[in-house]
């Protein structure tokens, strides 16, 4: 079974498969499943109609399941419409883009100072509050099979792997580039798992269900793809745990005090969960990266590659895939920002402060939920397929 095939420590991480499956099933998955239904986490701001800067428009795919249903303005939370906090010069001094590459494992514990609008050095942002942005209710637009495939989809994946992260990571590839490859491959596995788990089995009767064959053909028969999924899950989980104080203090205001309090309490339960912290205290060790004097240069290079991947999401020719592609790449970019863009100390020897956009936190938690669901599905559905590959 999958449980037997994948044993030992998840490569490049600090926890073993068995612990990950147990913690995910008992703690992470149930909390996140509930959390993402609350108003704060179910509305995502996104620019759905955007020009692809790499090639002429493919045209949106015509399947009904490709389209996103946008919310009427009256539906999305009133506080989301208010302008963001403007940063002072002092606060700006403590932001991203500093040249040092050293990474600390901690973040200042009194961190949340209000939602800000500030660029993420890892992503190609379209956050500016302009008329082209819409709020989408994620609960009404689940990530599932859409029928998007063929040359348009292939072109995106090819561009992501060939131009921006080496498709066949060799041993010569430095650890940092290997991490980028594994993050993308893990996300790709997760997308495949979700489309297989929620598949249109019969168009005539509109019957949806699990397609185990696709799950096996696209993911389970490739041990590396499964391993990369676990890696990506642990990487994002580490970012959430590292930003625990920030996430706990953050303002989850949607204008409904009861629901907002519950949201905050669920976030607190997750990020400070004693069993999670005791059993897998450091899911990924970010301080091992960007060492040596080429560290800063390498970091800028990998940042540029990830930014490109983020820009490629504008070229996804199916609206719903574009929505989830953008959300999940922003979530990964947020995890990268938390883990790698908060340097150890500024000139006055004070820890640098994390500043996140509200949309980044929404993307981060929804991404973690998608990954957590994929890990659970792989773990549970794998054995029922009956032809599980052995781990290499």
d(CA 101, CA 118): 20
In this chain, which of 35, 138, 195, 270 binds ligand FAD, going by CB under 6 A?
195
Nearer to ligand FAD by Cβ, of 14 and 214: the residue is 214
Nearer to ligand FAD by Cβ, of 148 and 235: the residue is 148
In this chain, which of 95, 146, 232, 254 binds ligand FAD, going by CB under 6 A?
146
3-class SS at 207? strand
d(CA 265, CA 35): 9
* 316: contact with ligand FAD by CB under 6 A: yes
* 178: contact with ligand FAD by CB under 6 A: no
* 156: contact with ligand FAD by CB under 6 A: yes
Q: CA dist 228 to 121, 183, 265, 347, 362, Å?
A: 24, 7, 31, 37, 23
d(CA 184, CA 205): 35
Q: CA dist 120 to 117, 123, 195, 272, Å?
A: 9, 6, 29, 26
Which stretch, 93-101, 123-131, 148-156, 236-244, contacts ligand FAD (CB under 6 A)?
Answer: 148-156
- Least Cα distance to 212 among 342, 6, 381 occurs for 381
d(CA 352, CA 331): 21
* 321: contact with ligand FAD by CB under 6 A: yes
Nearer to ligand FAD by Cβ, of 116 and 153: the residue is 153
* 192: contact with ligand FAD by CB under 6 A: yes
Which stretch, 73-81, 113-121, 181-189, 379-387, contacts ligand FAD (CB under 6 A)?
Answer: 181-189
Which stretch, 171-179, 185-193, 231-239, 369-377, contacts ligand FAD (CB under 6 A)?
Answer: 185-193
Shortest distance (Å) from residue 218 CB to ligand FAD: 6
* 319: contact with ligand FAD by CB under 6 A: no
Nearer to ligand FAD by Cβ, of 302 and 342: the residue is 302
What Rg value do the Cα atoms of the chain yield, rounded? 20
Shortest distance (Å) from residue 51 CB to ligand FAD: 17
Shortest distance (Å) from residue 378 CB to ligand FAD: 12
d(CA 49, CA 68): 11
**Angle at the Cα of 333 (from 329 to 339), degrees rounded to 5?**
145
Which helix (H) or strand (E) segment holds residue 257: the answer is: helix 257-271
In this chain, which of 153, 174, 282, 391 binds ligand FAD, going by CB under 6 A?
153
Structure tokens at 91: 């606060």
d(CA 263, CA 280): 24
Nearer to ligand FAD by Cβ, of 148 and 252: the residue is 148
* 188: contact with ligand FAD by CB under 6 A: yes
- Least Cα distance to 60 among 70, 74, 50, 69 occurs for 50
Structure tokens at 109: 């514990």
* 225: contact with ligand FAD by CB under 6 A: yes
* 148: contact with ligand FAD by CB under 6 A: yes
* 50: contact with ligand FAD by CB under 6 A: no
- Least Cα distance to 374 among 228, 202, 155, 254 occurs for 228
Q: 62 Cβ partners below 8 Å, 6+ apart?
A: none
* 302: contact with ligand FAD by CB under 6 A: no
- Least Cα distance to 37 among 373, 313, 365 occurs for 365
Which stretch, 115-123, 140-148, 256-264, 302-310, contacts ligand FAD (CB under 6 A)?
Answer: 140-148
Nearer to ligand FAD by Cβ, of 325 and 333: the residue is 325
* 189: contact with ligand FAD by CB under 6 A: yes
Question: What are the residues binding ligand FAD (CB under 6 A)?
Answer: 143, 145-146, 148-149, 153-154, 156-157, 185, 188-189, 191-192, 195, 218, 225, 316, 320-321, 324-325
């Amino acid at each position: 079974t999958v449980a037997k095939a994948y044993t030992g420590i998840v490569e490049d991480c600090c926890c073993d498969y068995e612990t990950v499956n147990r913690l995910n099933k008992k703690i992470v998955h149930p909390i996140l499943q509930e959390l993402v239904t609350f108003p704060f986490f179910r509305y995502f701001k996104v620019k759905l109609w955007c020009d692809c800067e790499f090639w002429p428009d493919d045209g949106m795919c015509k399947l009904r399941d490709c389209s996103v249903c946008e919310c009427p303005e009256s539906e999305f939370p009133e506080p989301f419409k208010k302008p963001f906090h403007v940063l002072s010069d002092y606060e700006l001094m403590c932001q991203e883009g500093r040249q040092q590459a050293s990474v600390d494992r901690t973040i200042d514990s009194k961190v949340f100072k209000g939602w800000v609008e500030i660029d993420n050095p890892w992503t190609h942002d379209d956050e500016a509050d302009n008329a082209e942005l819409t709020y989408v209710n994620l609960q009404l637009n689940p990530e599932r099979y859409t029928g998007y495939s063929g040359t348009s989809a292939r072109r995106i994946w090819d561009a992501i792997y060939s131009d921006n992260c080496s498709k066949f990571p060799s041993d010569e590839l430095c650890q940092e580039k290997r991490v980028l490859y594994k993050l993308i491959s893990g996300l790709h596995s997760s997308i495949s798992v979700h489309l297989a788990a929620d598949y249109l089995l019969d168009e005539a009767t509109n019957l949806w269900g699990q397609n185990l064959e696709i799950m096996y053909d696209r993911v389970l028969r490739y041990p590396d793809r499964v391993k990369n999924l676990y890696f990506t899950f642990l990487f994002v989980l580490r970012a959430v745990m590292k930003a625990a104080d920030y996430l706990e203090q953050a303002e989850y205001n949607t204008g409904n005090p009861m629901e907002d309090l519950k949201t905050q309490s669920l976030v607190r339960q997750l990020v400070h969960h004693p069993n999670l912290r005791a059993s897998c205290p450091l899911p990924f060790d970010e301080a091992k990266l960007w060492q040596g004097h080429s560290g800063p240069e390498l970091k800028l290079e990998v940042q540029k590659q990830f930014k490109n991947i983020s820009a490629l999401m504008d070229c996804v020719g199916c609206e719903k895939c574009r929505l989830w592609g953008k959300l999940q790449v922003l979530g990964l970019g947020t995890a990268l920002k938390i883990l790698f863009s908060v340097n150890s100390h500024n000139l006055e020897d004070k820890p640098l402060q994390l500043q996140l956009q509200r949309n980044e936190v929404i993307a981060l938690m929804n991404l973690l939920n998608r990954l957590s669901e994929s890990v659970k599905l792989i773990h549970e559905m794998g054995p029922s397929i009956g032809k599980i590959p052995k781990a290499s």
